[in-house]
């Protein structure tokens, strides 16, 4: 039989159950040699479970039924030993969190060499030199030196490259990539995708690419399978699905952000002015060695007009979060900050307290910004306890209910604990907590980055609504240029603690001056597939 015609992998009616709960409900698809198939879905859709089930990597409590045929072999019926012989050699996998895929106690080279020795029978010396070659192929500079590095000495992108090197070590026929770029910065992710595409070509591998980002996979996949709640709701060639989505869910996943802000405000008075802000961290020197200093924020100046939204874009490590906290005087900083004409620079903690009502902060991680030991009602009214301590308990409960209603949450939720709420609900609680004091300035530090796409639009709409209703001024921080474009009037681009470009939002997006800004925009647009 013609090898090219016979499918590489055939999955038929795969089901995974944990007791009564059904996580994968009858998934079927086919993969040909050299094909790249993408499985797209949001968290909880079962996409990772499907793949782990096919390789029998799930914990003991999982019950897997169905058929997974790799070339001619039924994987689900194989003994442990025979399956192990296939894994690593014919089928390889890379995971989302590169740090957790690598053993922190062993050098990178040792880990790659172990695979070569134990799976392909390399001798120790041959394994080491081949490991060097593989690191080079994976795009790691100075492979001879890096071979002796430990995982924590490498950056996230480099670690993922190491994971890729491990995966291709034995020249597999099938590479499974589970959200390989989700934990990485946009620019780094783009390069990893390029690497994967290149390796796929030269090694002639088939690939299963799992992601939550339909726009992302559109450019690299041949076929797309959209999963929702354990089932495949739509499948087809990548071009087809993108151009003519049939299912509502697919359409929603594809929905792009609005292109620009609906309303333009005329110039109003300056609310916040910051000049020459600098934040320095010193890494405590180890005994007998000097302390190192890191400039997290380096000489940043900006101003905010009332009622407008300033967006701060940058990748992780650019200092944008630190800047946000410095503006609110939550971290010690040099430079001058004035709020509503009042100089904040020399105010101490108790002098700042009354002012804090007017400047609030909403954080990125809804799971970390609400104390798991407090009920929602108490969380939302904590500000009242600080600034209006005379209020009776009853009154506080009433205000809590009001605050929750304002963010479109059921006021009854105030008796619950945060763990009982979904991510989107928690973020609304965090917003309510900020709003209850009726601030004038709200800093939003990546408020939607940790949320599913479906929930994001709701939160962003809420934020817009609140801004309209209360005349709020926003500082909106994000790494996602698409979100920034939809929400902001002005944009400042940050890199390595400095603002490298600032201006009206439309201008920056359509006519960027700095090459870094262009790269950011290009990466964002790539996601949108324009």
Chain residues 132-191 in contact with other proteins, contact rule CB under 8 A = 150, 152-153, 163, 166
Counting beta carbons within 10 angstroms of the beta carbon of residue 248, is it exposed (0 to 12), middle (13 to 18) or buried (19 or more)?
exposed
Q: Which positions from 381 through 440 interact with other proteins, judged by CB under 8 A? A: 382-383, 385-387, 417, 419, 423, 430, 433, 437
Q: Does 367 bind other proteins (CB under 8 A)?
A: yes
Q: Locate 100 and state its tokens.
A: 């957790």
The answer to whether 300 touches 498, Cβ cutoff 8 Å, is yes
Least separation in angstroms between residue 263's CB and other proteins is 28
Burial 354-382 (b: 16+ CB within 10 A, else e): eebbbbbbbbbbbeebbeeeebbbbbbbb
Residue 1: burial class (beta carbons within 10 Å; 0-12, 13-18, 19+): exposed
Select the span of 9-17, 18-26, 78-86, 300-308 touching other proteins (CB under 8 A). Answer: 78-86
CB of 284 to other proteins, least distance (A): 6
- Cα gap 41→31, rounded to integer Å: 18
Query: Which helix (H) or strand (E) is 454 found in, with range?
Result: helix 453-470
97 near other proteins, rule: CB under 8 A = yes
Residue 115 makes contact with other proteins by CB under 8 A:
yes
Stretch that binds other proteins, among 31-39, 64-72, 224-232, 378-386 (CB under 8 A): 378-386
Q: How far is the CB of 87 from other proteins (least distance, A)?
A: 3
| Least Cβ distance, residue 433 to other proteins (angstroms) | 7
Contact positions with other proteins (CB under 8 A) in 443-472: 450
Binding window for other proteins (CB under 8 A); candidates: 33-41, 92-100, 249-257, 522-530: 92-100
In the complex, the smallest distance separating the C-beta of residue 85 from other proteins, rounded to whole angstroms, is 6
- CA 342 centroid distance within chain: 37
The single residue among 104, 332, 341, 515 that binds other proteins, judged by CB under 8 A, is 104
Instruction: Report in angstroms how near the CB of residue 164 gets to other proteins at its nearest.
Output: 12
DSSP sequence for 95-156: -S-HHHHS-TTS-HHHHHHHHHHHHH---HHHHHHHHHHHHHHTT-SSHHHHTT--GGGS-H
Least distance CB 107 / other proteins (angstroms): 8
Measure the CA angle with vertex 491, ends 487 and 492; round to 5°.
140
- The answer to whether the CB of 92 falls within 8 A of the CB of 176 is yes
In the bound state with other proteins, the residue whose beta carbon lies nearer, of 103 and 248, is 103
Binding of other proteins by 213 (CB under 8 A):
no
352, 391, 398, 522: residue in contact with other proteins (rule CB under 8 A): 352
Q: Which stretch binds other proteins (CB under 8 A): 263-271, 305-313, 366-374, 468-476?
A: 366-374
> Residue 423 or 529: which CB sits closer to other proteins?
423
Q: Which CB sits closer to other proteins, 277 or 327?
A: 327
* CB nearer to other proteins: pick between 76 and 260: 76
Task: Assess 43 for contact with other proteins (CB under 8 A).
Answer: yes
At residue 81, the 3 state secondary structure works out as helix
**Contact with other proteins (CB under 8 A) among 10, 33, 89, 191:** 89
Considering only residues 279 through 318, tell me which ones interact with other proteins, judged by CB under 8 A. Answer: 283-289
CA-CA distance, 218 to 241, in Å (whole number)? 9
> Is residue 363 within the footprint of other proteins (CB under 8 A)?
yes
CA–CA–CA angle 370, 455, 212 (5° rounding): 105
Please report which helix (H) or strand (E) contains residue 68, including its range.
strand 62-70
Contact pick of 41, 46, 88, 377 for other proteins (by CB under 8 A): 88
Provide the angle, in degrees to the nearest 10, between the axes of the packed helices 376-387 and 423-435. Answer: 20
* Residue choice 330, 391, 398, 500 for contact with other proteins (CB under 8 A): 330
375 makes contact with other proteins (CB under 8 A): no
| Site of tokens 């300056």 | 270
Nearest to 396 by CA among 433, 425, 424: 433
Question: Is-contact 32 207, C-beta < 8 A?
Answer: no
């Amino acid at each position: 039989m013609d090898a090219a015609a016979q499918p590489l992998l055939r999955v038929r009616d795969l089901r995974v159950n944990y007791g009564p709960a059904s996580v994968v409900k009858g998934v079927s698809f086919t993969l040909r040699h050299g094909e790249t198939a993408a499985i797209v879905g949001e968290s909880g859709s079962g996409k990772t479970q499907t793949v782990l089930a096919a390789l029998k990597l799930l914990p003991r409590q999982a019950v897997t039924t169905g058929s997974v045929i790799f070339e001619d072999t039924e994987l689900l019926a194989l003994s442990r030993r025979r399956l192990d012989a296939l894994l690593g050699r014919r089928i390889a996998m890379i995971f989302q969190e590169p740090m957790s895929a690598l053993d922190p106690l062993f050098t990178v080279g040792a880990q790659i060499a172990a695979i070569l020795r134990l799976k392909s029978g390399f001798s120790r010396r041959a394994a080491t030199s081949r490991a060097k070659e593989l690191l080079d192929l994976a795009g790691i500079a100075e492979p001879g030196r890096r071979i002796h590095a430990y995982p924590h000495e490498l950056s996230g992108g480099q670690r993922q490259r190491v994971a890729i090197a491990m995966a291709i070590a034995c020249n597999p026929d099938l590479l499974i990539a589970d959200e390989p770029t989700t934990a990485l910065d946009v620019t780094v992710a783009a390069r990893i995708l390029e690497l994967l595409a290149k390796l796929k070509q030269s090694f002639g591998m088939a690939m299963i690419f799992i992601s939550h980002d339909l726009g992302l996979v559109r450019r690299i996949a041949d076929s797309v399978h959209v999963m929702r709640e354990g089932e495949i709701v739509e499948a087809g060639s990548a071009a087809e699905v993108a151009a003519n989505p049939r299912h509502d869910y697919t359409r929603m996943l594809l929905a792009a952000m609005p292109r620009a802000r609906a309303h333009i405000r005329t110039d109003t008075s300056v609310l916040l002015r910051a000049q020459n802000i600098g934040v320095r961290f010193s890494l405590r020197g180890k005994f007998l060695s000097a302390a190192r200093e890191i400039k997290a924020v380096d000489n940043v100046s900006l101003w905010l007009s009332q009622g407008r939204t300033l967006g701060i874009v940058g990748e992780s490590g650019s200092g944008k979060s630190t800047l946000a906290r410095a503006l609110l005087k939550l971290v010690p900083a040099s430079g001058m900050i004035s709020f509503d004409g009042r100089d904040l620079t020399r105010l101490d903690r108790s002098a700042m307290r009354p002012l804090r009502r007017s400047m609030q902060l909403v954080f990125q991680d809804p799971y970390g910004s609400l104390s798991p030991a407090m009920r929602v009602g108490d969380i939302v009214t904590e500000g009242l306890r600080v600034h209006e301590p005379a209020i009776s308990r009853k009154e506080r409960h009433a205000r809590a209910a009001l605050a929750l209603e304002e963010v479109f949450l059921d006021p009854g939720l105030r008796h619950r604990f945060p763990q009982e709420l979904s991510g989107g609900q928690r973020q609304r609680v965090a917003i309510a907590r900020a709003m209850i004091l009726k601030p004038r300035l709200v800093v939003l530090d990546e408020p939607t980055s940790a949320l599913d796409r479906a929930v994001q639009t709701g939160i962003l709409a809420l934020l817009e609504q609140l801004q309209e209703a209360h005349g709020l001024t926003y500082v909106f921080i994000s790494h996602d240029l698409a979100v920034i474009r939809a929400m902001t009037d002005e944009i400042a681009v940050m890199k390595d603690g400095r603002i490298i470009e600032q201006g009206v939002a439309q201008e920056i997006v359509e006519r960027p001056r700095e090459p870094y800004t262009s790269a950011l925009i290009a990466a964002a647009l790539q996601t949108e597939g324009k």
